[in-house]
Amino acid sequence: MENGNVIPVTLDANFFFERAVRSLDRFQYDKALKNFRKAVEYEPENPVNHCNMAGILSEMGKYEASNDILTHVLEEIDPSMTECHFYMANNYANMESFEEAERSLVTYLQEDASGEFMAESEELMELLQYELNRPAPLVRIRSREGVVEHDRARSLLEEGKFPQAVALLEEIVQNIPDFLAAHNNLALAYFYMGRFAKAKECLGEVLAQDPGNLHALCNMAIFLQYAGDREQLEGLVRMLEATVPFHQEHVFKMATTMGILGKHRTAYGHFRRLLKDEEVGGDASLYHYCAAAASNSGLESEAVRCWQLAAKLDPESAVPKFFLSQLQLAQAEGRPLPPVSYNYQLPFQEQLKQWKNNMGSFSEEVRNNPLLRASFFWALRYGDSSTKLQVTEALRWIGDDEMSEVLKGISEQEPLQETALLGLQRLIGGAPEENTIQRAVQEPVVPIHKGPPEWKEDWQRVIDHTAAVMDRRYDAVLKKDAELLWKQFISRLYPDVPLFRHTAGWCAALEYLTAKLHGHPLTYREAAQRYGVSVSMVSRYARRIHQVCGFPQDGAAADILPPFTENI
């Protein structure tokens, strides 16, 4: 045989790592473990290989063996890998060794600088406090140093007050150089201000301290794409494409980042992994994301399969049916389907087209669709002049108090002024005279409740308390959507509406879901702190509203846009 026909195989750690990942994707844990062990043999000083092996053992229920490996990493290889303490805490909890789990979790919280698993740690801490019937002996949480200032800086970023956010974040990173989340958010602040060089410099500082920081790596790739730096971008994208995150949040972060970068085949692989996760795998929107990635990759048969499953899971939604029909039409005409947005809703222009075909009227279901309304608001802020005019005309026909607020806000913008004033005229009556806007502000808002014949006091208490807390952070649009979401929740429960004993918990869940629908970065922990309730309560109530109202959660409703602020 000639040498030219022989393909050499390099047996190294990367070779066995890739084989392990393929086995893992097929849920072949024994084969994955065997290949991870071979990777460890080739690179025994690489702690990541050991942690991968420990993770597989934990998935297989071999918690003691997993902890033995994690202990070996901390004692013999890399004591700075504090996340090993968190993994060990989870293993001990699964073995019902709650005292040991508490010790490992406290060690993690006191030593870990990045706080990568802070939200998960809080939930685990609640479980341990319940099982041990006492609070944990926790003295300090290292990653929470400067947390109040950081929360304020994040609020400034969300409000668009970038110079003030930069000043505060610069002070935080100067005082606490290893506060990586603050560095990441400072990079975002610079990015939004167009200071790309400073943004890259900040992310460089994060990666110098933590070369594997996934948020920083993903954000860096997006920054490089916006800056047009193809040379650096290509190398980083190759590295990201070879990265296989294990944590659900990281998998979703990677999938959406690959979508932003146009690496749809890679995004498709990550979305497929998420579909195998029992916690989120039954979500119709996730099947749409996978279908969009497949379609954008030219995998038409897989796109059809995913949209069919989405239609089965969410039979009332027009989204999967629309894209299925568009794909069938494209196939009949012998052309590819145009790029598909990952957002789980009809394309914006299609929504406007349906409105026009319906003689300028919206059904009650469409009127109360938070995703459609969010698209309107986004288009008014960022669309071109033609789209803005179409949306302004459409808002006239939705005809509720929130639309009045929106039209008031744009009535002084040219060339939208005349259309907006006509919209206000239709909403409140009378001629578009000078005091039209003032009358709209002064007239009392009379809520119209659909569904239940009588609106109860404890239902309204949730709306009032949520609006009062949200008033300091959000505009009228989000507050109105929170109210609409709660009314939809009550209407779908009626007549079997329970007694809401924990008002604050429902309020926190309502704000959390509303923020997510509008793309605002809000965690369960932050929502819980604002309303003085537990993280588990917010999570439980949010899931309940999600189940009843049937819209995507945890950021799934937000389109794939430039990155938002990072949590602690």
Domain boundary (211, 243, 275) is at 243
Q: Which pLDDT does position 37 carry in this prediction?
A: 85
Chain mean pLDDT for the chain: 76
Answer yes or no: is 559 within a domain: no
User: Structure pTM?
Assistant: 0.42
CATH at 308: 1.25.40.10
Residue 400's pLDDT band, with cuts at 50, 70 and 90, is: low
pLDDT digits (tens, 9 = 90+) for 116-167: 888 888 889 888 988 888 888 776 677 776 776 788 888 777 666 778 888 8
Gap between the Cα atoms of 71 and 481, Å rounded: 49
Gap between the Cα atoms of 477 and 80, Å rounded: 45
> Do 408 and 337 reside in the same domain of the chain?
no
> From residue 203, how far is each of 83, 146, 153, 242 by CA, in Å?
21, 19, 17, 20
> Do 319 and 391 reside in the same domain of the chain?
no
Please say if the pLDDT value at position 443 is more than 70. no
348-355 long-range contacts (CB < 8 A, ≥24 apart) are 348/375, 348/379, 348/387, 350/322, 351/375, 352/390, 352/391, 352/394, 355/394, 355/397
**Number of domains the chain contains:** 5
Whole-number percent of the chain with pLDDT over 70:
73
CATH at 515: 1.10.472.10
Residue 539's pLDDT band, with cuts at 50, 70 and 90, is: confident
> Do 134 and 20 reside in the same domain of the chain?
yes
Per-residue pLDDT, averaged over 476-498, amounts to 82
> Do 135 and 156 reside in the same domain of the chain?
no
Residue 558's pLDDT band, with cuts at 50, 70 and 90, is: very low
CB 477 within 8 A of CB 405: yes
Please say if the pLDDT value at position 559 is more than 50. no
Per-residue pLDDT, averaged over 470-481, amounts to 78
Domain boundary (328, 344, 360) is at 344
Q: Which pLDDT does position 496 carry in this prediction?
A: 80
Residue 28 structural domain? 13-141
Main-chain phi, psi angles of 76, to 5 degrees? -120, -25
pLDDT digits (tens, 9 = 90+) for 168-223: 999 989 988 888 888 988 988 887 776 778 888 899 999 999 988 888 998 889 88
Per-residue pLDDT, averaged over 459-471, amounts to 88
Please say if the pLDDT value at position 447 is more than 80. no
> Do 181 and 261 reside in the same domain of the chain?
no
Residue 86's pLDDT band, with cuts at 50, 70 and 90, is: very high
Report angle CA 563, 213, 194 to the nearest 5 degrees.
35
Please say if the pLDDT value at position 385 is more than 70. no
pLDDT digits (tens, 9 = 90+) for 252-270: 889 988 988 889 999 999 9
pLDDT digits (tens, 9 = 90+) for 503-525: 899 999 999 888 877 667 788 88
> Do 334 and 360 reside in the same domain of the chain?
no
Q: Which pLDDT does position 42 carry in this prediction?
A: 83
pLDDT digits (tens, 9 = 90+) for 290-335: 999 999 999 999 999 999 999 998 888 888 999 999 888 888 888 8
Report angle CA 100, 102, 103 to the nearest 5 degrees.
65
> Which of 164, 171, 173 minimizes the C-alpha distance to 201?
173
Q: Which residues contact 426 (CB under 8 A, 6 or more apart)?
A: 396, 397, 399
Give the residue with greater pLDDT, 157 vs 440.
Answer: 157
Q: Which of 75-79, 142-146, 492-496 has the lowest mean pLDDT?
A: 142-146
If you average pLDDT over each of 129-143, 413-427, 460-474, 552-566, which comes out highest?
A: 460-474
> From residue 544, how far is each of 454, 498, 510 by CA, in Å?
23, 12, 11
> Do 225 and 302 reside in the same domain of the chain?
no
> Do 394 and 492 reside in the same domain of the chain?
no
475 three-class SS: coil
> Do 17 and 133 reside in the same domain of the chain?
yes
> Do 287 and 352 reside in the same domain of the chain?
no
Per-residue pLDDT, averaged over 536-564, amounts to 59
Per-residue pLDDT, averaged over 379-403, amounts to 57
Half-sphere exposure of 8 (CA within 13 A, CB side): 5
Q: Which pLDDT does position 104 carry in this prediction?
A: 92
Q: Which pLDDT does position 179 carry in this prediction?
A: 85
Domain boundary (300, 322, 344) is at 344
